[in-house]
Amino acid sequence: MQLLQKLQRFDRERIPERVVHARGTGVKGEFTASADISDLSKATVFKSGEKTPVFVRFS
């Protein structure tokens, strides 16, 4: 009986909607690799001296 009650409560639980204007902040900048790690990754973002524009969101 307890399992049935727990399942019923879980099924009827209200799922809150996602907040449209959530608080947080964003930062725009440049990422510059300080060391060449091309032996670990083929991504050009990790070549030494390569500048890549980035945008990071903190919430």
Model pLDDT for residues 3-14, shown as the tens digit of each residue: 888 878 877 777
> Looking at residues 12-25, what average pLDDT do you find?
76
CB 33 within 8 A of CB 46: yes
Query: What's the rounded Cα separation, in Å, for the pair 56 and 28?
Result: 7
Residue 54 has a pLDDT of: 94
Residue 28 has a pLDDT of: 96
- DSSP label of 37: -
CB 40 within 8 A of CB 7: no
Q: Which residue has the tokens 């009650």?
A: 5
Residue 53 has a pLDDT of: 94
pLDDT in tens, 29-50: 999 988 888 788 888 888 888 8
| Closest by Cα among 30, 22, 24 to 49 | 30
Query: What's the rounded Cα separation, in Å, for the pair 36 and 45?
Result: 10
Q: pTM value? A: 0.47
